[in-house]
Amino acid sequence: MSYPFDLKRLHSFRAWYDAVIVGARTLIVVNPPLSVHYVKDRNPLRVVVDGRLRIPLNARIITNKSAKTIIFTSKQADKDKISELKSKGVEVFIVTDNRRLSIRRVLELLYSTGVKRVLAEDGELLWIFFSKGIVDEVKVTIASYKRGVC
C-alpha cells in the first residue's frame, strides 16, 4: 500500500540530509535512484555499504547522475568492478578487509568529507545503526517500495 503524503514526506526528509545511505540488498531488490522528488535542487549524496560489491553496474544510482554516489566496500571486492564503477563517476572506498564493514568507520569517513546528517533508508542497515547505538532520531514513513519507485 502506498501513502502519497508519506512518499512526499520521505522526499522532503531526503532533501534535508547531507547523505542517504543504503546497503546492497536494497539496491538489488528495489533499485531506487535515491534522488529527491517534489523538492527542487536538493539531492543528497548517495552512499552504499556493500562489502562484496554486489551492486549491479546498471543500478539506478549508478546510471542516474542527479547526485554523487559513494560506495564503501572491502578488499574482497572485484578490482575490475571497482575500476568500472569509478569510470562511471562513482567513488569507491575500501574500508576493511572483512566482508562486514564497520558502519562507524563509514560514518567517520563521511564526516571527514563534511557529511553531518545521514538518513538510513535500509532496514538491515538501520538495524546495525540501532545495535551500535548510533541513531539520533527516528522518522517513520510508509511509502511504496515497489521496485524502483523510491
Output the pTM of the full model. Answer: 0.88
State pLDDT tens for residues 19-34.
999 999 989 988 988 8
Q: What is the pLDDT of residue 138?
A: 82
Pick from 128, 150, 126: nearest CA to 139: 126
* CA quadruple 38, 129, 1, 147: dihedral, nearest 10: 70
Q: What pLDDT is attached to residue 143?
A: 63
Cα within 13 Å of Cα(138), Cβ side: 9
pLDDT at position 94 is: 92
* Predicted local distance difference test score (pLDDT) of residue 148: 45
pLDDT for res 97: 53
Cell of 7: 512518499
Sheet of strand 19-23, all strands in order from the earlier edge strand to the far edge: 91-96, 69-74, 45-49, 19-23, 118-120
Query: What are the extents of the domains in the chain?
Result: 4-131
- Give CA separation, 43 vs 17, 68, 104, 128, 145, in Å: 9, 9, 23, 25, 19
**pLDDT beneath 50, residues of the chain:** 147-148
* CATH match for 4-131 among 3.40.50.620, 3.30.70.100, 3.40.430.10, 3.40.50.920: 3.40.430.10
